[in-house]
Chains A and B, each alone.
Chain A
C-alpha cells in the first residue's frame, strides 16, 4: 500500500506561487521535482502535463483544487509537488474561482497505475472538512508536510 508520507517533504511545498498562464503556473511547480531528481526533463514533463490537462481538466470544485499530473518518460520515480497560494490569488483557465491548492503528481511510464492510490488519498484529505482548512492555514512547509503525512484513508 502506498504511503503518502513517503512523498511529502517540506522542500516540495511552495507557498509563493506567482500568477500566470497555466504553463507558467505548472512550470513553477515542476522546479522542486527537478531539484529532487524526480523529473529529469522539465520541458518534456510540462508538455505531458499540459497534454493531459487538454484532454481532461484535473480541477475539482468545492474546494477548488487542481491535481495536474502525467505519465512521462521525463519522470524517474513517482513524485509529488504541492502549492498552496498564500500571498497571491491563482486562477486556472475555465474557472472563476481562485485555486486553494495544487497537487502535481509526476508518474513514471513504467507504473501507470500507482498514482491512483495517491489521488485517492489526496482527494479524501481535501474533502475532509476538518483537516483541509487547517492544512491551508499552516505557516511553515514543515508543518504542512507533517499534517498531510499523518493522514490515512478512512477505513472501508
Chain B
C-alpha cells in the first residue's frame, strides 16, 4: 500500500507571507514617521509578537527565499496582475505553470524574478 505524501499548501504560506510583509512594512513606516508615543510602542510590540508567530508557521526554505527577495527588491510577495503578469517584473506567467501553481503542484514563484505571487488572489 502506498501513501501519498501530503501536498505543500503554498496558498496557505503565501497568505502568511502577505501578512508578514504587511507587518514588516508597518514597522518601516513607523520608523520613517519617527513615532515614539506609548500607544504606538504598544502596537509595535504586538506586531513584533505576531511576526514571530507568523514566521514560525512558514517553512524555513520558503521564508529564507522570501527574506532574500525582500532585501533585494523590497517586496517578497505580490499579487498577480491582469494578463497574468508578475506584479514586480511584469513578465507574464506561462498559463500551464499558472494552473499548476493554483493547484499547489509547483511553488508560486515568478519564472523571471522569483517573486512569490499570490495566484489565488484575483
Residues of A participating in the B interface, judged by any CB pair closer than 8 Å = 52, 55-58, 60-61, 67, 71, 73, 94, 109-113, 116, 119-120, 123, 127
A120 to B111, CA, bound (A): 33
The residue that B23 contacts in the complex, of A55, A73, A111, with Cβ under 8 A, is A55
The residue that B33 contacts in the complex, of A58, A71, A111, A113, with Cβ under 8 A, is A58
Closest to A61 in B: B37
B39 touches A119 (CB 8 A): no
Closest to A119 in B: B32
Given A110-B79, A112-B21, A112-B75, are A120 and B32 also a contact pair (CB < 8 Å)? yes
A58 to B29, CA, bound (A): 9
Give every chain B residue within 8 A of A110 (Cβ-Cβ).
Answer: 78-79, 81, 87-88
A33 to B32, CA, bound (A): 24
- Find residues 7-40 in chain B having any chain A CB closer than 8 Å to their own CB: 21-23, 25-26, 28-30, 32-35, 37, 39-40
Chain A at the B interface: mostly helix, strand, loop or mixed?
A: loop
Q: How far is the CB of A41 from chain B (nearest CB, A)?
A: 15
Closest to B26 in A: A56
B29 touches A116 (CB 8 A): yes
B44 at the binding interface (Cβ < 8 Å): yes
Chain B at the A interface: mostly helix, strand, loop or mixed?
A: helix
B60 at the binding interface (Cβ < 8 Å): no
Closest to A65 in B: B33
B75 touches A113 (CB 8 A): yes
A67 to B33, CA, bound (A): 9
A55 touches B21 (CB 8 A): no
B28 touches A116 (CB 8 A): yes
Give every chain A residue within 8 A of B79 (Cβ-Cβ).
Answer: 73, 109-110
B47 at the binding interface (Cβ < 8 Å): yes
A94 touches B39 (CB 8 A): yes
A73 to B57, CA, bound (A): 26
A52 to B74, CA, bound (A): 19
A112 touches B78 (CB 8 A): yes
Q: How far is the CB of B38 from chain A (nearest CB, A)?
A: 10
